[in-house]
Structure 1
Amino acid sequence: MQNWLKQITTGAMIGTTVLVTSACTMRLSESTFIASDEVPVAFTAEFTQQLQQAMPNHLITPLSLEASDHVKLNGFYIDNPNSLTTLVFYQGNGMKIEPHGLSVLTTLSTLNTDILVMDRRGLGASEGQPSINNIIADAQQQLDYLHQQYQPEKVILHGYSLGSFIAADLAKNNKIDALILHGSATNADDWVDEKTPWYMAPFMTLEMPEDFRKTDNKQVVAQYYQGPLLVIAAEEDEEVPPELSEKLFVASQSANKQLIMVPNVGHQGMLDDANTMSQYQTFITEL
């Protein structure tokens, strides 16, 4: 998610995320909010080698899947030969496997699971134009492929930032063994409320597509998903205030839930904290 309300209040350029339609009305559209590239860029052999060198005990397999509308989506299956659990990682807005994924995938590999990660459509190595509906449909197809091709005993969905909305939506209708919401908001309306200064709230109206409001992490954990839940937040996150993660945790009806509040970091870097990864490891080991 982008810190666009801060840009508005400081008088800076609004950029591509929000279109100001009047003095007090703003419109949030899918085409401008969801980051995309003009053309896909294939993974380089050098990057694949870097992944393999960073995870020498894993087998790195490039994947190319065709979506229902014939768009080609690309990513990797990272196979830990000693694991029957797969962690599916959904990246944040604008985050590409190459070059952004090397560090986080290396860190996640220490959890000793298999990992499935795909560039979502319209970004990095994947084709197409993204929307809320089609990136969720793509993720469902990828999850189905995982079960058909690899038959994991356990599946963990890990969504970071915008990716948390994909992971949570899939958790509504799929049998999974754990849900990880990392740097996550509750829903679009709460996020706007948290980011809007009190003195601007009476004068501002936000218009957004209904699809944005239908992807509601708080509703998922409160009404649909009751399995194991791990919420990871950062005390100094200015993009997605940690109060939203606390609301998710409180709303969850799971009997097995945990909140990790990472000190001294912002929206990036939560998984670089050794204590966070230790707690993450314990959480999945006990599944």
Structure 2
Amino acid sequence: MPRPTDWGDLTKSVYFGHVALSSPSWSGTTHLMVEAILQSSGWDRGWSRLLQIAANSAAITERSFGVPEGVNTGRYGIGMVIDFFAFVGKRNGFPVDFTYPAVTNFVPASIGLINGARNPVDARKFIAFTLSNDGQKLLLDPRISRMPVVPYELLQGKVAAGYPKLPDGAAKSSLHFNAGLAQERIRLVTTMFDQSITFPIKELRAAAREIFAAESKLAGRDDADAAALIVQARQLAFSPVVSSEELQDPALQKIFFGRVEENNMTEAQRHDIMLLERRWNSRARAGYAEARMLAHRAVLRLGP
């Protein structure tokens, strides 16, 4: 397979059945990748890209580290992972590599002193050590493989050749990540992902398989009717269950954008969410079934 260099590459038919990713409802780092795609491409186009990537998936793993484990062992060809998962694998001898897409985000690991902690003196010493040159050197251990935040020249040659630098990677990304927006709509995004991707993944893959078969038969041929069927199939399979227009619905925003903790929801709110989940899941499955049918009609029309 060709080496992918950006998110859009993962939508290509050559990667069908080879991509692994987790669900954003199970993995915070996956949620950040999903948001990077949505924020850079816009809501409708971003969801279309996510649906196409997921359609190429070999697995939607239950754990985020199930993705790098699968790539390291050759079970999957490509995985959407946070960078240090790949660095750990590569530096421990697995035949893997990693690419930063043009659109990415960098999130610092945090350290702090809890107000009212019982041992603040030693806590401050630990924080000071962690941020010192000696503490930051430990991040370069192949079992950890994180990016230090101190200038690399202060780490006494401990940085391996080609090891990524945080300022360089952040400067190359074309995305100004809006963390507030990502947090505000996290419940909506994760719910949509599960109802339209995680749960009906077999139907999504089946639609994509038929679409790719039709496109392969159409290549180099002039058949406007078959081409129109494929366009319709793609539209049905790779459109979000909530469009950017529907996103403006005040009722939907009240349910998903209100900062209500799960434990504080009323029974009415839970009922509304359940109804929407069922509606989105049914809409997704129906769209995939019709897309598969239309693409199959195109295959039959094009013949052997």
Fold conserved between structures, TM > 0.5: no
The structure richer in strand per residue is 1
Tell me the TM-score normalised to structure 1 length: 0.29
Structure number with greater Rg is 2
Query: Which structure ranks higher in relative contact order (CA pairs < 8 Å, sequence separation ≥ 6)?
Result: 2
